[in-house]
Amino acid sequence: MPIHVSGGQVIVPGEFVAEGSCEVMGPHIISGKRYYAKVLSVAVIEKPKRVRLIPLKRRYIPTEGDLVVGKIIDVGPTYWLVDINSPYTAFLQVSEVFPRPAPKERDLSEIFQVGDLVAAKVLSFDFSHDPLLTVKESKLGKIEKGLLVEVASSRVSRVIGKKGQVIDYLRSILNVELIVGRNGRVVVMGSEPEREALAAYVVQRLCAEPYVADPLEEAKKLLSRQLTRGEST
């Protein structure tokens, strides 16, 4: 049979769906003549050779080179396990933290502990292996301070804006820095808690709207409204 799933079946990312001359609708990946699910979906058989995959929930699917904000969830002998807000748990190997191998007897929890936030990049990922991360590049590593804001990963591009305009705007007006993870986690860092809170509010509201035509203009409206309220109280 060219279709390898049944109608109403829940399909996990990377699961083999169909092959050959079948038509697969919805988020999927093609390898040769085989079709694999890209996100958690439910299968709907529309015709003998056509299947539609309907996403159950939009969750982050890692892509090589993505900046992500991860949470350390376990410490192994030579690696850390990292929650990246995805169906997949990521690995951060000790070789991707230190410029040279660390002493074998070193306790890795001295570097990153369970619960720590880290800014990292996706080094590699395919559906046969869990994502591998690196923190070797500049500005990556443990996040020591700031407010964590969690939004839909599909709307993170609004926070960045065209050529980073939204980030630049919030930086210039509120004197804050943003770490924007493609996995739907944004960290706002500033010298004043009130300014951090304002920036976090703008990020949350910007990503909560069903549709935003111009993220920069919307950010300006949201911040202006909050600043006006502050002045009137």
CATH fold for the domain made of 67-142: OB fold (Dihydrolipoamide Acetyltransferase, E2P) (2.40.50)
- Quote the strand ranges of the chain, DSSP E: 10-11, 16-19, 23-25, 28-31, 34-37, 41-47, 50-55, 67-75, 79-83, 89-93, 117-126, 129-134, 141-142, 147-150, 176-180, 185-190
Percent of the chain with pLDDT over 90: 50
pLDDT digits (tens, 9 = 90+) for 57-88: 667 888 899 999 999 999 998 899 999 998 78
For the cut 60, the answer to whether the pLDDT of residue 227 exceeds it is yes
CATH 2.60.40.10 fits 10-55, yes or no: no
Q: pTM for the whole thing?
A: 0.72
Residue ranges, comma separated, of all CATH 2.40.50.140 domains in the chain are: 67-142
What top-level class would CATH report for the domain 147-232? alpha beta
- The encoded tokens of residue 97 equal 């933290």
Per-residue pLDDT of 32-47, as tens digits, reads 889 999 888 878 888 8
* 191 pLDDT higher than 90: no
